[in-house]
């Protein structure tokens, strides 16, 4: 595993990343909400890249992992800016994005910006527009009033917090009500036992993508994380079989 480095943004945000040199297109893993590059899927992706001489980039969004900042100041548009800045700073041209959960939403936002630089995408329980369908009307009213919503966290001891700034920014970045201007090959993986993101979201996303090369793989007993050994194996097979150009 390559060492952790830091990229300093113009406003002094320090973004932690690992960058492995190799053949392109570069694999860029985008973690989910309240997650970071130390997760099992991100780690497995970089290990696969090292074994197959592929370029790979992992990162922590500001306020997450070992990057600077407060999580409550995070937003999709802010994190997209960080991803794009890292790609430019590291001289990465052709890109295959891999997005997990919220990272799947960021993946779409980044891909639309990169346009023809995109070689492919892999979404894992992609969660575009979850500020819309992922909250009750009462929670939305609380967020619209500028307050934070706290929910039980099945993956840790700390509650899952959604801050008003993130929610408002997400509402402005919704994508599933329009054609998504992405033309590269896309592979969407989703567990049908996902209690956080309905698996129908991946089917809806597939319909909205402009690309004609979109495949959806449903894992009947797969949960939201898709991080079991067999799920990781599926992800790595998907990476290996994705067209490089």
- As a whole number of angstroms, the distance between CA 196 and CA 127 comes to 9
Which of 60, 194, 196, 231 is the catalytic position? 194
- As a whole number of angstroms, the distance between CA 9 and CA 26 comes to 21
Task: Give the pLDDT of residue 159.
Answer: 87
Active site residue 223: no
Active site residue 101: yes
Active site residue 224: yes
Q: Which residues contact 161 (CB under 8 A, 6 or more apart)?
A: 71, 72, 148, 149, 150, 151
Comparing CA positions, the residue from 240, 192, 197 lying closest to residue 218 is: 192
Average pLDDT value for residue range 86-113: 98
Residue indicated by tokens 């909205």: 208
Do the beta carbons of residue 109 and residue 173 sit within 8 Å?
yes
Burial category of 132 from C-beta neighbours within 10 Å (exposed 0-12, middle 13-18, buried 19 and up)? middle
Task: Give the pLDDT of residue 16.
Answer: 98
- As a whole number of angstroms, the distance between CA 56 and CA 42 comes to 10
Per DSSP bridges, beta strands 160-162 and 186-191 are unpaired
Q: Which residues contact 98 (CB under 8 A, 6 or more apart)?
A: 27, 28, 29, 30, 41, 45, 107, 121, 122, 123, 124, 235, 239
pTM value is: 0.96
Flag whether pLDDT at 116 surpasses 80: yes
Q: Would you give the DSSP letter of residue 159?
A: P
Flag whether pLDDT at 32 surpasses 90: yes
Element of type H or E holding 121: strand 118-124
Do the beta carbons of residue 29 and residue 57 sit within 8 Å?
yes
- As a whole number of angstroms, the distance between CA 20 and CA 136 comes to 42
Q: What does the pLDDT look like over 173-229, one tens digit per residue? A: 999 999 999 999 999 999 999 999 999 999 999 999 999 999 999 999 999 999 999
Q: Considering only the top CATH level, what class is 5-128+178-241? A: alpha beta
Confidence class for position 82, pLDDT limits 50, 70, 90: very high
Q: State the average pLDDT for the chain.
A: 96
Q: What does the pLDDT look like over 14-26, one tens digit per residue? A: 999 999 999 989 9
- As a whole number of angstroms, the distance between CA 229 and CA 218 comes to 16
Which of 101, 163, 169, 190 is the catalytic position? 101
Percent of the chain with pLDDT over 90: 93
Comparing CA positions, the residue from 105, 199, 194 lying closest to residue 154 is: 194
Torsion of CA 39, 42, 47, 48, to 10 degrees: 140
Least confident of 42-56, 63-77, 142-156, 193-207: 142-156
Flag whether pLDDT at 1 surpasses 70: no
């Amino acid at each position: 595993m390559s060492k952790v480095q830091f990229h300093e943004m113009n406003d002094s945000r320090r973004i932690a990343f690992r960058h492995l040199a190799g053949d392109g297109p570069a694999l860029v893993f985008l973690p989910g909400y309240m997650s970071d590059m130390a997760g099992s899927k991100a780690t497995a992706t970089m290990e696969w890249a090292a074994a197959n001489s592929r370029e790979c980039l992992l990162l922590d969004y500001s306020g997450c992992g070992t990057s600077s900042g407060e999580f409550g100041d995070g937003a999709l548009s802010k994190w997209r800016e960080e991803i794009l800045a890292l790609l430019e700073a590291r001289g990465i041209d052709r890109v295959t994005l891999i997005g997990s959960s919220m990272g799947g939403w960021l993946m779409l936002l980044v891909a639309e910006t990169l346009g023809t630089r995109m070689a492919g995408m892999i979404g894992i329980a992609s969660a575009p527009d979850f500020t819309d369908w992922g909250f009750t009307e009462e929670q939305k009213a609380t967020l619209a009033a500028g307050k934070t919503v706290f929910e039980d966290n099945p993956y840790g001891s700390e509650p899952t917090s959604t801050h008003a700034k993130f929610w408002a920014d997400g509402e402005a970045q919704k994508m599933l009500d329009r054609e998504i201007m992405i033309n590269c090959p896309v592979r969407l993986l989703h567990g049908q036992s996902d209690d956080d993101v309905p698996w129908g979201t991946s089917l809806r996303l597939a319909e909205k993508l402009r690309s004609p090369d979109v495949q959806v793989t449903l894992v009947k007993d797969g949960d939201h994380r898709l991080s079991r050994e067999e799920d990781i194996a599926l992800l790595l097979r998907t990476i290996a079989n994705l067209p490089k150009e």
